[in-house]
Amino acid sequence: MTKNDVEDRVRAICMALPEVTERLSHGAPAFFVKKQFAALMIESHHEHHFAQMWCAALPGAQQELIAMAPDRIFRPPYVGARGWIGVRLNAKPDFDEIEMFCEDAYRAVATKRQIALLERGPSIR
């Protein structure tokens, strides 16, 4: 799977969520539902030289997720202090897991109305 394929799959997952928009943030594709909930860095970024996605995590989930899979999940710079997670995309990505992370990230920043839209609509999974 090429880096473009990974970027296209992550983009499709994020854009399937209600009222999501995409725009560049610090030169990388980023996904917003008023607030940013995910960013995709396919090229090297800071000290990490691998494809990665940063996304918001539900309150209290960051440490548990990192402990569960330290080879795939890490605390990203800048947004890690706000509970976000980083997900390695350089190995064969588990897109079911990525869908779960994206939906959780969406829920972490979306309004109650937007979460209701998500729950009424077909699941992205």
Query: Using CA atoms, how far apart are residues 38 and 105, in angstroms rounded to an integer?
Result: 7
pLDDT for residue 92 is more than 90: no
Can you list the alpha helix ranges (DSSP code H) found in 16-125? 61-68, 95-109, 112-120
> Is 71 part of any domain?
yes
CATH number reported for the structural domain that contains residue 84 in this entry: 3.90.1150.30
Q: Would you state the pLDDT for residue 47?
A: 57
Q: Does residue 111 sit within a domain?
A: yes
pLDDT in tens, 38-65: 999 886 555 556 889 999 999 999 999 9
The pLDDT-based confidence of 90 (bands split at 50, 70, 90) is: confident
Per the domain annotation, does 16 fall within a domain?
Answer: yes
Q: Is residue 88 part of a domain?
A: yes
Q: What tokens appear for 3 in the block?
A: 């880096």
Does 28 reside within a domain?
Answer: yes
Range of the domain at 61: 3-120
Tell me if 113 is assigned to some domain. yes
Residue 125 lies in a domain: no
Q: How many domains does the chain have?
A: 1
Query: What is the pTM (predicted TM-score) of this model?
Result: 0.89
Return the closest-CA partner of residue 88 out of 67, 106, 65, 71.
71
78 found inside a domain: yes
Q: Which amino acid would we find at residue 113? A: R
CB 68 within 8 A of CB 86: no
